[in-house]
Amino acid sequence: MEPLRWRLMALLPLVASFLLFYFNYYFKSSASECSLLPHNHYWIVSKRIVTPKGIISGAVEVNGGNIISVVKEDDWRGNARSKSVLDYGEAVVMPGLIDVHAHLDDPGRTDWEGFPSGTRAAAAGGITTLIDMPLNSFPSTVSEETFKLKLNAAEGRIYVNVGFWGGLVPENAFNASALEGLLRAGVLGLKSFMCPSGINDFPMTNASHIKEGLSSLAKYKRPLLVHAEIPQEPEDYVKGESGADDVRSYSTYLKTRPASWEEAAIRELLAVTIDTRSGGSAEGAHLHVVHLSDARSSLNLIKEAKKRGDSITVETCPHYLAFSAEEIQNGDTRFKCSPPIRDAANKKQLWEALLDGHIDMLSSDHSPSVPELKLFDDGDFLRAWGGISSLQFVLPVTWSFGRNYGVTLEQLVSWWSEKPAKLAGQDLKGAIAPGYHADIVVWDPEEEFDVNDNHPIYLKHPSISAYMGSRLSGKVLATFVTGNLVYEDGKHAPAACGVPILAR
Ligand SMILES: NC(=O)NC(NC(N)=O)C(=O)[O-]
Ligand SMILES: [Zn+2]
Ligand SMILES: [Zn+2]
């Protein structure tokens, strides 16, 4: 008997560690600080669930961070009184937004934004995934080493999931092993500028750098995102009225960056995207034009390239769809960005192109700075920092302004979730369907609110947001990130449980 007892005693540590593991697991999944919900198996019920098969009244079953079933009301056998049923009534349930273009400026310029404030604002805005740009942080993310610094900065500080673009710069463009090191480390693709970026350690690239970058990207089947503006000859810098520039006037700034800058860049890019066609030397690579502002000749060039079979997509941003040059007040440098916001007729054409599918998707291009760099005292459009602060409001902005054009909920999902998921290589994101990640936004399209000091704004510097003072419709009620209820009714889950998204 004795030896058996000893043998059982030897098992004790094993049993203890099993109990500890079970307790931890149970504790983590039931009362976790990651979620405002006490359980991880639940049903989201609503009369307006936007699915790839249309808008249904029914329930989305979530378990362990994934959507495991989506059922219509008539087929739903769930217990309506159960605590694990979240009934949102008439509110819209759709995939969380995927913002493929945001500058969170971390590490190095956390006084501009930073991962914690940026991702809390994202959560409050229904954005469940964002892809951080490689510049405006310091250092810029242009090598495996600097990417490690980025990942360290994100650890334990992100409230939604965050992926990363790496930078294509002259220093790494002809160095295939450096570029591949960065790609292997997990950046989802690369980003480059064809004009000065305003950031010293992020110099601009030309068409030959871009051609080289595309050939490395082809192997990994990842995209290159390009800021497409090339500065043109000085004769394009038209002087303001009466020969003297009025630096406080928006039109002065607009004239310094005409549509011909975008057109010239896109023309050069299209000479390179030929290689991305099937059978071409860079087949597998993809080119994505960020923040298109010119809805005329630049867009026509992109349409032609698509017709030829080049692998190319294009995004525009809510600020180009919400504002027009004519409305921007003297000295209001919150509206300065590049490429610039153009005239009202151009804005209408951007909407038309989006509705016709010629513009593929939307992104925020959230690019804040400290308020001092906006030079509000002088209102000098030529010297102020360029970049629009918008992250928390992109959904209501798209909806509020899009309603005049008859935008549908399905279109919102296509522009903000489906197409961005595809660009970022996220096959299990961007739809409310079984097997997909439970990244979900619940919002009320009818509810209006004023963006002012009484409204909770989670961005680091609310005062620089171009949307301060606007009245918007479409209030975000709840945001789920891989099953965690990270935001509801003005409240965030206490812990930052977002995860970095790495390409594999
Ligand atoms: N350094 C920047 O953040 N630049 C950004 N600035 C804008 N859009 O005005 C951008 O994306 O080009
Ligand atoms: Zn840009
Ligand atoms: Zn940007």
Instruction: Work out the average pLDDT over 96-121.
Output: 98
Q: Return d(Cα 148, Cα 184) in angstroms, integer.
A: 12
Q: Which atom of ligand 1 is nearest to the CA of 198?
A: 1
* pLDDT of amino acid 21: 43
Give me the pLDDT at residue 2, please: 52
- Token pair listed for 434: 């079984």
Q: Does residue 381 have a pLDDT over 60?
A: yes
Q: What is the mean pLDDT of the chain?
A: 93
pLDDT confidence tier of residue 118, bands split at 50, 70 and 90: very high
Ligand 2 geometric centre to CA of 392 (Å): 19
At residue 245, the pLDDT reads: 72
Q: What is the pLDDT of residue 394?
A: 98
**At a CB cut-off of 8 Å and minimum separation 6, what does 488 contact?**
36, 477, 478, 479
Confidence (pLDDT) at 5: 59
Per residue in 39-51, pLDDT (tens digit) is 999 999 999 999 9
Q: Rounded to whole angstroms, how far apart are CA atoms 45 and 259? A: 47
Sign of the C-alpha dihedral computed for residues 108, 109, 114 and 115 taken in this order: negative
- The answer to whether 474 and 443 have CB atoms below 8 angstroms apart is yes
Entry pTM? 0.93
Question: Residue 385's pLDDT is what?
Answer: 98
Atom of ligand 1 nearest to the CA of 367: 3
Name the class of domain 97-428.
alpha beta
What is the pLDDT at residue 82? 77
- With a cut of 80, say whether residue 123 has pLDDT above it: yes
Q: What is the 196 CA–ligand 2 centroid distance (Å)? A: 10
- Ligand 1 pocket residues where CB is under 6 Å: 103, 135-136, 197-199, 227, 291, 337-338, 365, 367, 386-387
The per-residue pLDDT for 239 is 47
Residue 4 pLDDT grade (very low, low, confident, very high; cuts 50, 70, 90): low
Helix (H) / strand (E) containing 149 = helix 144-154
Among protein residues, the one with the nearest Cα to ligand 1's atom 12 is 338
Residue type, 138: F
Q: CA-CA distance, 217 to 281, in Å (whole number)? A: 11
pLDDT at residue number 220: 98
Note whether 221 and 186 are within 8 A (CB). Answer: no
pLDDT digits (tens, 9 = 90+) for 293-308: 999 999 999 999 999 9
The 10s digit of each residue's pLDDT in 230-273 is: 999 764 455 444 445 799 999 999 999 999 999 999 999 999 99
Atom of ligand 1 nearest to the CA of 202: 1
Residues paired with residue 471 on neighbouring β-strands, in sequence order: 450
Beta bridge partners of 485: 480
* Among 2-6, 93-97, 172-176, 335-339, the least confident range: 2-6
Those residues with Cβ within 8 angstroms of residue 337's Cβ, 6 or more apart along the chain or in another chain: 291, 319, 365, 367, 386, 387, 388
Over residues 398-434, the pLDDT tens digits come to 999 999 999 999 999 999 999 999 999 999 999 999 9
pLDDT for the residue numbered 9: 57
| Amino acid 28: pLDDT | 44
Q: How many Å lie between the centroid of ligand 2 and the Cα of residue 387?
A: 9
Mean pLDDT of 99-120: 98
- Cα–Cα dist 48/426, whole Å: 25
Q: By C-alpha distance, which of 184, 190, 248 is closest to 214?
A: 190
Q: How far does residue 81's CA lie from ligand 2's centre (Å)? A: 50
pLDDT of residue 122: 99
Q: What pLDDT sits at residue 81?
A: 65
CA–CA separation, 202 vs 224, rounded Å? 15
Phi, psi of 411, rounded to the nearest 5 degrees:
-65, -40
∠ CA 397-438-156, nearest 5°, is: 85
Q: Which residue has the tokens 């190095």?
A: 108
User: Does residue 99 contact residue 165 with C-beta atoms inside 8 Å?
Assistant: no
18: pLDDT strictly greater than 80: no
Tens digits of per-residue pLDDT, 124-163?
A: 999 999 999 999 999 999 999 999 999 999 999 999 999 9
Q: Give the ligand 1 atom nearest the CA of 135.
A: 1
CA distances from 40 to 44, 154, 156, 223, 361 (A): 12, 24, 21, 34, 32
Q: CA-CA distance, 64 to 82, in Å (whole number)? A: 18
- CA-nearest residue for atom 6, ligand 1, is 387
CB 44 within 8 A of CB 479: no
